[in-house]
Structure 1
Amino acid sequence: MVGATTNHGVDLEKTATMDKTDTTKGSIHQGVDMSVVAAGADLIYNKKVTIMNQAIIDIGMGPFQWKIYIMTGFGWFVDNFWMQAITIVSAPVRNEFNVERIVFLTVAKYAGLVVGSSFWPITADYIGRRLAFNITLLIAAVASLVGAGSPDFVAIANFCAFIGMGSGGNQPVDSAIFLEFIPATHQYLLVMQSAFWSLGQAIAAMIALPLIANYCCQSDATQCKYHDNLGWRYTFWTFGGLTLLLFLIRLTFRVPETPKFLLGKGRDAEAVVVIQEIARRNGGTTWLTLEHFENIDRELGATYAIQAVCGIPASLVGGLTVDMKRIGRKGTGTFACVGTGVFLFPAPIRGTGNGAVAVFNRMSGLMAPIIAAYVGIGNDMPVWISAALFVVAGFVFLILPYETRGKAAI
């Protein structure tokens, strides 16, 4: 249960007590932290999600969330798993198809990753998390199983792009799902999911290297024919089968739609049902009911009235500033648009936000093999550029103005 000032690192000292008409005994008893609620695009959503976060904290980290931890970890696993797989099979693929620049196999994979990390997070925000969560692994599995029979380099490169398109949505979508199911007290586990990333690399090497060593042409072979070079195809079939197995495990676990996605779409009743289902799967109950959200909805009338009243002086001020020498119409329009944008930026776009970060990550990865192809791996300039970028990224991270420790994700 939550104490008066702290709850396992969650700061409640700045708690602002909600009006009693907006709470029931659950939130009053626990002391809902309203410090994260700020005026913006959807104050109503923010208030609701703050109550929901407290309900999830009170439910605690139970069997359901630990299973979610593992299920979403599959995404990290598969992402690096296939990254290593394509690197390992590059040499035998080059020998069989006489490819001069085999790095374009990696380029194809990254091109797919860019598409996947752009498309699936947006899908997750507008259609739902479950679709992207389930289908990404299926696409990667099918592409690899079929791609193992590729007759030429163009075919295998295209299938690698589809593998990237599937696995590209894993990290941004899975991270969103994980954060929206676990209590704020355990959000640090998101960082620990990187262990699945390392595990994927290790498993890929353990499976692929023996197959490549025993069933592929030697690097000095004058000719490398299909029947002498089946190792990389066996690798793709094995990896595709394992990815398909992970997809089936996810499918049978029946992950519900995340409550925060439902809340963001105005489906409050369904969100409450999901929270109650989480409590049930953990062997407990929750105090959260639909009445909590209905009480907040009653504030809408007053909010709209305030907005309407504020519009009157805003129009008068705008009429005066458009003719001011140093402001004018451009200045007035700029201030109005920027100010409106700041206040209307929507809250429930975690998938898209994660996806935007992932896209930049994948685009940077896409440039690496292209540089290697044209600059050459014997030149140490790419290494210096990479080192400098890491240092710059470290300083940028250091000056970020936000600290999220102890704050529940909204």
Structure 2
Amino acid sequence: MDLESSAGGLAEAMDKDKATSKGPSSPSLGERSIDHGENDLLGGEVDRVLAAKMLIVNDAIDEIGFTRHHWKLFCLNGFGYAVDSLILLIQSIISGQARLEFQPSYATGLTIAVYVGMLAGAIFWGFSADIIGRRFAFNVSLFVSSVFTVVAGASPSWITLGLFICLSAFGAGGNLVLDTTVFLEYLPSKNQWLLTLMAAWWGLGQLVAGLFAWAFLPNYSCSDAATCTRENNQGWRYVWFTSGAFVFVLSVLRITIVRLQETPKFLVAEGKDAEAVRVLQDLATRYNRPCSISIERLEACGASHRHETTATGMTKRLISSKEVVYHLQGLFTTKKMAISTTLVWFSWLLIGLAYPLYNVFLPTYLASRGASFGQASDYITWRNYAINNTCGIFGPVLAGLMCRSPWFWGRRGTMIIGAMITMNLGFTCAISFCLNIYYGTLYAYTPEVFPSGHRGTGNGVAIGLNRIMGIVSAVVGEAADTTTPVPIFICAALYIVMAIVAGAFPFEPYGRRSS
């Protein structure tokens, strides 16, 4: 697939309004200063020197505009979204068949394993993104996930399966941290709404998982624990093998379609002004776009506090625990940022509990009330499962359009609407569609309101809190009474709280530029 040629028209179309909207009185890039940065979301919330440099970088990115490179990043970072949802869903899909074969004592062990791996991955890749850089995780994480996904299919025992699922999830778990960060830090300000649209890849990953299940489980699965053996229960293993091969292909595409360079905002945050200028000028030259940024303009802003305190070099920073503390403190530098960081993390905590609990309790609860789930045929069951997962693709598409329109009060309004509608709808496809409006917008909103120098850390902690609640939900699902309606009402109440929290967010990125 030639992404450059296929995306050419879109890139040109997205840039058409740029030339016409810029009036003759608009200051040029060379005339801009920090006093013109009132449209930058965190301009007054971070180090003044760094804010001045980020203003210049933002101007340069806006000057270059949306190119085919951005379209390729949209797809390649979207692969990470797809793999995250693929790994999460596959373990739940195959769990029933694996239990028949291994007959474990703890039925939700695989769920705990996948969330532990996701938690470790979010923290590891998140902090490394701010300490080592974005490029390393972008190039390596999917490959790590693909290797252990394939190996999981050959597991000889329940414990071994849980271990390899955990390691596979570790590789995949950093992608939600990195994908939004990398894409956002290259995006022109007027195209930041695409960050919400990118969450459609999450639904695509769910669809792929459903299709693999539909292809293998009906024909290669046992139906009774007493007679279930490895030989007559190969379907779940085929799902893992195929998924691993699929993830491996995606990891290869990441390093062949685009040779990612460190994002200019990360380089500036690290005091590497010359490298940031080179990256931006290379991008402009490749696509024949103007770019008037210069090293002299960046150096004229002075040296940021970060640059002065890290002059001893990268090696010392990597072995210092102070580095982690520095990035955490950077998320609480002002009262407004502290409130924003706390509320964003709290939102991830809530959705991390509500969504898995809903999936754990609803099927059993409805079954206890006499609800019927499809036909007796496994073929029909998994066909319907794949169709249902298709609905999750379109929620972020609607969310992206809503985020772009002032009629829905920007990102915060979109999340309020998504949470409230999810609370009130009861059909599975509708839930999948509406929940992804909220989820997709929260994924986009989170990196937008973190400063670039600490964005990986903020994202990593947020996703990590989400994974912790996934572990809690698995334990609750194993120990609690799944026939009572109370957990369903609790989930609905959590969505109400999420809507309230979204309304209390102090920053609204609509029409503003991220740092």
TM-score, reference length from structure 1: 0.81
Does 2:292 match 1:284?
A: no
AA in 1 matched with 2:469: S
CA offsets 1:112-140 (integer angstroms, 9 cap, x no match): 11111111110000000011112211111
Match of 1:193 among 185, 194, 198: 198
Match of 2:102 among 87, 97, 104: 97
Secondary structure of 2:453's counterpart equals coil
CA offsets 1:62-109 (integer angstroms, 9 cap, x no match): 100111111110111111111111111111100110124321111110
Q: Tell me by how many angstroms 1:47 deviates.
A: 0.5
AA in 2 matched with 1:277: D
CA contact (8 A) 2:221 2:236 kept: yes
AA in 1 matched with 2:60: A
Q: Tell me by how many angstroms 1:212 deviates.
A: 1.2
Change in CA separation of 1:246 and 1:9 when aligned onto 2, cut-off 3 Å: farther
User: Distance in 2 between the 1:370 and 1:299 partners?
Assistant: 46
Q: 1:400 aligns to what?
A: 505
Q: 2:486 aligns to what?
A: 381
User: Distance in 2 between the 1:139 and 1:358 partners?
Assistant: 19
AA in 2 matched with 1:342: T
AA in 2 matched with 1:297: G
Change in CA separation of 1:256 and 1:373 when aligned onto 2, cut-off 3 Å: same
User: Distance in 1 between the 2:511 and 2:21 partners?
Assistant: 4
Residue correspondence of structure 1 range 266-285 to structure 2 within 5 A: 266-285=271-290
CA contact (8 A) 1:27 1:54 kept: no
Change in CA separation of 1:10 and 1:48 when aligned onto 2, cut-off 3 Å: farther
Q: How many residues align?
A: 357
Does 2:47 match 1:42?
A: yes
User: Distance in 1 between the 2:190 and 2:20 partners?
Assistant: 7
Structure 2, unpaired ranges of 5+: 1-16, 306-328, 339-450
Q: 2:269 aligns to what?
A: 264
User: Distance in 1 between the 2:30 and 2:287 partners?
Assistant: 20
Q: Tell me by how many angstroms 1:284 deviates.
A: 2.3
Does 2:217 match 1:212?
A: yes
4+ long deviations beyond 4 Å: 6-12, 29-32, 37-41, 343-347
Does 2:169 match 1:164?
A: yes
User: Distance in 1 between the 2:495 and 2:162 partners?
Assistant: 29
User: Distance in 2 between the 1:383 and 1:131 partners?
Assistant: 41
Secondary structure of 1:214's counterpart equals coil
CA contact (8 A) 2:47 2:304 kept: no
Match of 2:469 among 349, 356, 364: 364
AA in 2 matched with 1:396: V
Structure 1, unpaired ranges of 5+: 1-5, 18-24, 301-336
Q: 2:29 aligns to what?
A: 26
Match of 1:342 among 296, 317, 334: 334
CA contact (8 A) 1:8 1:185 kept: no
AA in 2 matched with 1:205: G
CA contact (8 A) 1:9 1:185 kept: no
Residue correspondence of structure 1 range 234-313 to structure 2 within 5 A: 234-252=238-256, 253-297=258-302
Does 2:514 match 1:409?
A: yes
CA contact (8 A) 2:145 2:170 kept: yes
Q: 2:456 aligns to what?
A: 351
Moved more, 119-128 or 134-143: 134-143
Secondary structure of 1:228's counterpart equals coil
CA contact (8 A) 1:212 1:231 kept: yes
Match of 2:144 among 122, 139, 145: 139
Match of 1:228 among 201, 210, 232: 232
Q: 2:89 aligns to what?
A: 84
Change in CA separation of 1:299 and 1:147 when aligned onto 2, cut-off 3 Å: closer
User: Distance in 2 between the 1:9 and 1:103 partners?
Assistant: 57
Match of 1:65 among 70, 73, 85: 70
Q: Tell me by how many angstroms 1:154 deviates.
A: 0.3
Identical-residue share of aligned pairs (%) = 33
CA contact (8 A) 1:64 1:281 kept: no
User: Distance in 1 between the 2:191 and 2:468 partners?
Assistant: 31
Change in CA separation of 1:291 and 1:355 when aligned onto 2, cut-off 3 Å: same
Q: 1:179 aligns to what?
A: 184
User: Distance in 2 between the 1:29 and 1:50 partners?
Assistant: 8
Change in CA separation of 1:211 and 1:269 when aligned onto 2, cut-off 3 Å: same
Q: Tell me by how many angstroms 1:31 deviates.
A: 11
Q: Tell me by how many angstroms 1:378 deviates.
A: 2.2
